[in-house]
């Protein structure tokens, strides 16, 4: 009985490029929205926003850079997620494809990042 090698192509997990770009874009959008949009939204929900002061002080001078980085990362994550969706549609049994829950969480992260990016731009 042959034991499959851990280096065989069928055993490798796909590179998490979409997930990394989505997380980076979400972090940049959070920094962008920390000065104005997040305190307003969280105060509407009755939550304290004092902890955002430090993030806002660091992120405010870099707003345009955070906007560009966030938009580029979210766009790149969306393109890679689209490619993952296409690859998963033709994934055969025995192949390793990204799980459905990973793709769903990536989509949720992309939507949350896009919302924060818009809110940071609109409320500044």
Question: What angle (nearest 5°) sits at the alpha carbon of residue 80, between those of residues 78 and 84?
Answer: 115
Instruction: Kindly tell me if the per-residue pLDDT of 79 is higher than 90.
Output: yes
Among 1-5, 12-16, 27-31, 64-68, the minimum mean pLDDT is found in 1-5
Q: What is the distance, to the nearest Å, from the Cα of residue 47 to the centroid of all Cα atoms in its chain?
A: 24
Q: What percent of the chain has pLDDT over 70?
A: 89
Taking only the tens place, the pLDDT of each residue in 83-112 is: 989 988 888 877 778 888 999 999 999 999
What angle separates helix 37-44 from helix 17-33, to the nearest 10 degrees? 80
Q: Where are the domains of the chain?
A: 18-90+97-122
Instruction: Kindly tell me if the per-residue pLDDT of 10 is higher than 50.
Output: no
Average pLDDT, the chain: 86
Output DSSP code: residue 35: T
When pLDDT is averaged across residues 53-80 and rounded to a whole number, the result is 92
The two tokens of residue 50 are 């004092």
């Amino acid at each position: 009985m042959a034991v499959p090698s851990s280096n065989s192509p069928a055993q490798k997990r796909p590179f998490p490029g979409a997930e990394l770009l989505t997380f980076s874009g979400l972090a940049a959008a959070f920094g962008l929205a920390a000065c104005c949009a997040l305190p307003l939204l969280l105060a509407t929900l009755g939550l304290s926003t004092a902890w955002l002061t430090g993030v806002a002080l660091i992120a405010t001078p870099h707003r345009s850079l955070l906007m560009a980085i966030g938009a580029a990362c979210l766009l790149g994550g969306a393109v890679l997620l689209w490619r993952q969706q296409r690859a998963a549609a033709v994934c055969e049994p025995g192949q390793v494809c990204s799980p459905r829950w990973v793709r769903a969480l990536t989509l949720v992260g992309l939507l949350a990042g896009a919302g924060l990016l818009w809110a940071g731009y609109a409320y500044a």
